[in-house]
């Protein structure tokens, strides 16, 4: 590979990641379609810039990446193929419909449009992950700096808008949760998950030696900067009163602290004890801003939450065959409507459990793909300030995946793709172009 990648590719990826959070003030089909369009078109432009013939052109993905994409795409093609034998064998259609004389489904997936949108998102995220996998250190650091700045901007805007009693998001959309902090997101849980993903990185950027603008600052400035950054994000995150998001954010920071402490000799101790202070600053600022709403919601937590009922219905009412072969990417909503009881009146377009939804939509093959990614990430694990922050963010989002749908939200998806691509690269799967730092 060449010594660098074209800067336009990196800047396009950064622009996508920075813009998407500002499109989620109204989580409607139109807003989600706009986000997907931005993600897909941006990924196409980034790929075009990265692979444009020239001295720094990015070569195609490795064989393992192509196999993964091929298996995923092949399964999706089967789900949307107009072959009557497929819905007869695998379609999630109730028996009553089959007995109707005019019912003649042509597709395995009950929602072909959702399946194709899901595949388009996969292609875009695959492209972003591959570009991140191939980035040299200097360009990757720019991404981290901008993503950390994005988290701070979201936190500042969220706290500021909440403190001023603003009833709109960016003056455009009405706030769904005016009593809580939720930035430019329509949903406080999605906002909290986004901050939980980025909180460890926002602290780590101050202690990565070759980070632009920050790497050569004095230790005093780095300590102050990491404390202030963590305090802002902590106040916004816990001020959202999102039980799951707040728990995930704290889990992510604890994972980062444990790993940084365990490998302090490799990391040369630079980011260890200030990171503990940073977490403390986040908790103190959250307590100062007000933890009572979160505390009240935690006390009220119980098994009556509708999400737990949905999980139970999925496990007990969905046929075993659906779990084996899947109902089709994006097909959860159509499948769940068949068993949704009358008293659950909400719009259940997502299962509020990304893991269960992935398994019911993609079956055993989807489970195998997920396991393959997890194994690759574990094999790639090596200690550094940067990598530990990324793994901590993934740990936070893994917790969120158990009771929410942030893994389906474009603003979070693109950051996850950058994280995963980077972790596969830095773990030695393939050396990035240019000079890399072994233990940054």
Nearest to 110 by CA among 336, 328, 350: 328
Per-residue pLDDT averaged across 170-174, rounded? 90
Range with lowest mean pLDDT among 84-88, 343-347, 389-393 = 343-347
For residues 168 and 176, give the distance between their C-alpha atoms in angstroms, rounded to a whole number.
Answer: 9
User: Contact, 344 vs 310, CB < 8 A?
Assistant: yes
Q: How confident is the model at residue 393 (pLDDT cuts 50, 70, 90)?
A: very high
Q: Can you give the pLDDT at residue 298?
A: 64
Residue 219 lies in a domain: yes
Q: Name the pLDDT band for 337 (thresholds 50, 70, 90).
A: very high
DSSP 186: S
Residue among 151, 139, 136 at smallest CA distance from 18: 151
Alpha-carbon distance of 124 to 410, in angstroms, equals 10
182-209: pLDDT as tens digits: 999 998 999 999 999 999 999 999 998 8
Q: What pTM was estimated for this model as a whole?
A: 0.92
Q: Determine, yes or no, domain membership for 205.
A: yes
Give residue 316's pLDDT band: very low, low, confident or very high (50, 70, 90): very high
Cα torsion angle, 145, 186, 420, 390, sign: positive
**Interval 278-287 mean pLDDT:** 85
Q: Report pLDDT for 92.
A: 93
Cα separation, 231 vs 274, whole angstroms: 13
Check: CB of residue 195 under 8 Å from CB of residue 249: yes
Q: Is the pLDDT of residue 165 over 80?
A: yes
In terms of Cβ atoms closer than 10 Å to its own Cβ (0-12, 13-18, 19+), residue 138 is middle
Does residue 340 fall inside a structural domain? no
pLDDT at 439 over 50: no
Q: What pLDDT shows up at residue 101?
A: 80
**Residue carrying structure tokens 């030695």:** 428
On the question of pLDDT at 346 being above 50, the answer is yes
The pLDDT, as a whole number, for residue 55 is: 66
Least confident of 262-266, 374-378, 424-428: 424-428
Tell me the per-residue pLDDT of 28-57, one tens digit each, with 9 for 90 and over.
Answer: 778 888 999 999 999 999 999 988 877 677
pLDDT confidence of residue 268: 57
Nearest to 344 by CA among 308, 318, 376: 308
270: confidence class by pLDDT, cuts 50, 70, 90: low
CB 294 within 8 A of CB 241: yes
Q: What is the pLDDT of residue 344?
A: 87
Determine, yes or no, domain membership for 142: yes
The pLDDT value recorded for residue 1 is 39
pLDDT recorded at residue 102? 81
**What mean pLDDT, rounded, does the chain reach?**
88
Please check whether residue 320 lies inside any domain of the structure: no
How many independent structural domains does the chain possess?
A: 1
The proportion of the chain whose per-residue pLDDT surpasses 70, expressed as a percent, equals: 91
User: Which residue range is the domain that position 394 belongs to?
Assistant: 7-303+347-429
Give domain status of residue 437, yes or no. no
Query: Which of 58-67, 261-270, 424-433 reaches the highest mean pLDDT?
Result: 58-67
Which residues lie across from 174 on neighbouring strands?
Answer: 168
Range of weakest confidence among 117-131, 249-263, 421-435: 421-435
**Domain annotation covers residue 321:** no
Q: Is residue 1 part of a domain?
A: no
CA distance 189 to 185: 9
Predicted pLDDT at 435: 41
């Amino acid at each position: 590979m060449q010594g660098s990648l074209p800067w336009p590719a990196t800047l396009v990826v950064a622009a996508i990641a920075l813009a998407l959070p500002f499109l989620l003030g109204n989580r409607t089909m139109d807003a989600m379609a706009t986000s997907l369009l931005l993600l897909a078109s941006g990924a196409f432009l980034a790929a075009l810039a990265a692979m444009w013939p020239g001295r720094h052109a990015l070569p195609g993905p490795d064989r393992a990446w192509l196999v993964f994409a091929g298996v995923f795409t092949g399964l999706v093609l089967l789900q949307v193929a107009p072959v009557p034998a497929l819905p007869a064998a695998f379609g999630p259609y109730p028996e009553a419909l089959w007995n109707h004389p005019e019912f003649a489904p042509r597709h395995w997936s009950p929602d072909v449009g959702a399946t194709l949108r899901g595949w388009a998102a996969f292609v875009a995220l695959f492209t972003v992950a591959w570009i991140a996998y191939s980035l040299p250190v200097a360009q990757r650091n720019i991404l981290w700096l901008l993503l950390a700045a994005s988290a701070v901007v979201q936190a500042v805007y969220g706290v500021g808008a909440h403190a001023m009693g603003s009833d709109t998001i960016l003056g455009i959309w009405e706030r769904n949760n005016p009593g809580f902090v939720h930035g430019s997101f329509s949903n406080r849980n999605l906002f909290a998950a986004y901050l939980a993903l980025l909180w460890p990185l926002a602290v780590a950027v101050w202690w990565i030696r070759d980070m632009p603008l920050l790497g050569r600052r004095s230790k005093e400035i780095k300590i102050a900067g990491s404390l202030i950054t963590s305090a802002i994000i902590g106040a916004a995150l816990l001020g959202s009163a999102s039980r799951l998001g707040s728990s995930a954010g704290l889990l992510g920071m604890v994972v980062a602290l444990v790993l940084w402490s365990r490998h302090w000799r490799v990391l040369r101790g630079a980011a260890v004890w200030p990171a503990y202070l940073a977490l403390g600053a986040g908790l103190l600022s959250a307590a100062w801003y007000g933890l009572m709403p979160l505390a009240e919601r935690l006390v009220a937590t119980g098994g009556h939450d509708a999400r737990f009922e949905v999980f139970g219905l999925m496990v007990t009412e969905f046929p075993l065959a659906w779990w084996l072969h899947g109902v089709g990417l994006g097909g959860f909503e159509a499948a769940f409507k068949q068993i949704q009881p009358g008293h659950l009146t909400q719009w259940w377009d997502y299962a509020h459990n990304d893991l269960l939804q992935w398994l019911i939509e993609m079956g055993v093959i989807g489970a195998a793909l997920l396991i393959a990614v997890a194994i690759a990430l574990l094999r790639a694990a090596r200690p550094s300030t940067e990598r530990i922050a990324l793994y901590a963010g993934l740990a936070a989002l893994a917790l969120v995946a158990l009771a929410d749908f942030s893994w389906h939200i474009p603003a979070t998806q693109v950051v996850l793709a950058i994280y995963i691509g980077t972790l596969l690269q830095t773990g030695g799967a393939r050396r990035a172009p240019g000079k890399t730092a072994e233990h940054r």
